[in-house]
Amino acid sequence: MAERMVHCVKFGKEMPGLEKPPFPGEIGQKIYENVSKEAWRMWSEDMQIKILNEYRLNMGDPEDYNALVEQMLLFLNLKEGETAEVENEERGRSED
């Protein structure tokens, strides 16, 4: 069976797509239809973790969860705007 291809909005070219939506609902379907496996891997294995840690998001808090979803859409180019800054050496450090 041939690999499913999508026009990846993150990379702007045809690439192998996900095997199924990453989660239920409209956003999961939008990702499935428009985001490559590679772009999803970059989000789920790297950037998502950086944002969770950098901003100390609590996934039990609906506001924090919505902020993470917003950053995911921005990172994957499914929405226009500025992505969150990560790996800022100055943030989180206290003065001794």
The model's pLDDT over 28-51, given as tens digits with 9 standing for 90+, comes to: 999 999 999 999 999 999 999 999
**Residue 75 burial class via C-beta count within 10 angstroms: exposed 0-12, middle 13-18, buried 19 and up:** buried
Q: Report pLDDT digits (tens) over 64-78.
A: 999 999 999 999 999
Task: Give me the amino acid identity at 96.
Answer: D
Domains and CATH numbers, the chain: 5-75 (1.10.3880.10)
Q: Are 20 and 32 in contact (CB under 8 A)?
A: yes
